[in-house]
Amino acid sequence: MFYREAGDFKTTYPEDAQTFPIQFDRVRYYAVLAIAFGVIPFFINDYWANAVFVPFLIYAIAAIGLNILTGYCGQVSLGTGGFMAVGAYACYKLMTSFPEVSILIHVLLAGGITACVGVLFGLPSLRIKGFYLAVATLAAQFFLVWLFNKVPWFYNYSASGQINSPERTVLGHFVTGPNTSAAAKYLFCLVILFALAWVARNLTRGTIGRRWMAIRDMDIAAEIIGVNPLTAKLSAFAVSSFFIGVAGALFFAVYLGAAEVGEVFGINKSFLVLFMVIIGGLGSIFGSFAGAAFLVLLPVFLKNVLVEGMGWPTDLAAHIELMIVGGLIVVFLILEPHGLAQLWRLTKEKLRLWPFPH
């Protein structure tokens, strides 16, 4: 009964175009923000930060990035892991080369560098589509991982071939390195995610988003209407790679602290983020959050239930998790290709009329 739009009239176009046009949604959105910024940081501990919140926040950034490219612009990419690696290594090189500059700037610059690399690997999209493009981005994935393994300059000639993030502070609090508090990690990622999600929403609701969606839905018609396919596709690659690069930088610097490219940013990562986008919902910012939350929480949940609750061996639980994720992908592709976001949308449409559906 709370979910009503009757009497909620819009008198200006900006009001009509806002992200949460229904008042109840808006209130709930502010409540979520208040809890995320005002409550969780005071209660978060290392377990919750490392197992749930920080990976969720970072994967949400990556999922939004991939969703812009695949969900909004219709260009399939399997290079997410490789682009995250570019972000991570760019951030590492910047952190070690310019230690006096703030990590926040490094993370954003790492995103910028990834955007350039993304545009480069996006060039084939001007000629090829669909599966063929997916294979071309797969080449990017393998090439980038190989590059960061092969050229010692990228990992500063360290003997192990690993990169380790040095200690850095923001406003006097450690955000990277062993002395970082759980709350600092969480807040650092949260602020970046909040800003980037806001940017993504703005881009996708305006002209640029419509250019991307036009290319996705019918590229020939889009071109005849006046969309330049070159700039539309490459801008999608650039923005998407920026997000993914920032996610990669945070994943390495804040979450892991140390990384080896083949293990962390391999093809598995590309698929994981792609699954997040598919399960969450293609072409939806909310879907990116939902997908990231789902695939981050699922292993934690299964571990708690199967291993601790029912006493199963860990490896069996891990295999079952893979099977469940695989099964869910198939189920979602068949039953609800638009993912959790579409389920959510349907629920809301039902709620609008509930309890008087006629």
Partner 1 sequence: MSAQPAVNTEGYTTADGRKIGGVLMEMKNITLRFGGVVAIKDISFDIREGEIRAIIGPNGAGKSSMLNVISGFYVPTEGEVWFKGYRRGPMKPYQVAQLGIARTFQNIALFDGMTVLDNIMTGRLTLMKTGLLAQAMWWGAAQKEESAHREKVEKIIDFLEIQAIRKTPVGRLPYGLKKRVELARALAAEPKILLLDEPMAGMNVEEKEDMCRFILDVNDEFGTTICLIEHDMGVVMDLSDRVVVMDYGKKIGDGTPDEVRANPEVIAAYLGVAHD
Site residues (CB under 8 A) for partner 1? 12-14, 17, 199, 202-203, 205-208, 210-211, 213-214, 216-218, 220-229, 235, 239, 283
Question: d(Cα 281, Cα 72) in Å, to the nearest integer?
Answer: 11
Is the Cβ of residue 221 or residue 305 nearer to partner 1 in the bound state?
A: 221
Q: HSE-up of 264 (CA within 13 Å, CB side)?
A: 27
**Would you state the structure tokens that stand for residue 202, as one six-digit string?**
């703005």
Axis crossing angle, helix 182-205 with helix 207-217, rounded to the nearest 10: 70
Helices (H) and strands (E) in the chain, counts: 17, 4
Residues 6+ away with beta carbon under 8 Å from 62: 80, 84, 243, 244, 247, 248, 251, 273, 276, 292
Nearest Cα to Cα of residue 83 among 274, 232, 298, 258 = 274
Is the Cβ of residue 165 or residue 235 nearer to partner 1 in the bound state?
A: 235
Q: State the minimum distance, in angstroms, from the CB of residue 198 to partner 1.
A: 8
Q: State the minimum distance, in angstroms, from the CB of residue 211 to partner 1.
A: 6
Q: State the minimum distance, in angstroms, from the CB of residue 108 to partner 1.
A: 13
The backbone torsions φ and ψ at residue 178, rounded to the nearest 5 degrees and listed phi first, read -70, -20
Q: State the minimum distance, in angstroms, from the CB of residue 68 to partner 1.
A: 12
Is the Cβ of residue 55 or residue 74 nearer to partner 1 in the bound state?
A: 74
Q: State the minimum distance, in angstroms, from the CB of residue 166 to partner 1.
A: 30
Q: State the minimum distance, in angstroms, from the CB of residue 123 to partner 1.
A: 17
Is the Cβ of residue 14 or residue 355 nearer to partner 1 in the bound state?
A: 14
Residues 6+ away with beta carbon under 8 Å from 34: none
Burial of 150 (0-12, 13-18, 19+ CB in 10 A): exposed
Is the Cβ of residue 208 or residue 306 nearer to partner 1 in the bound state?
A: 208
Question: d(Cα 144, Cα 148) in Å, to the nearest integer?
Answer: 6
Rg of the chain taking only CA atoms, in angstroms: 21
Please give the biggest Cα pair distance in the chain.
70
> Residue holding tokens 């994720």?
325
Is the Cβ of residue 144 or residue 222 nearer to partner 1 in the bound state?
A: 222
Give the three-state DSSP class for 161. Answer: coil
Is the Cβ of residue 18 or residue 50 nearer to partner 1 in the bound state?
A: 18
Q: State the minimum distance, in angstroms, from the CB of residue 96 to partner 1.
A: 30
Q: State the minimum distance, in angstroms, from the CB of residue 357 to partner 1.
A: 19
Is the Cβ of residue 230 or residue 322 nearer to partner 1 in the bound state?
A: 230
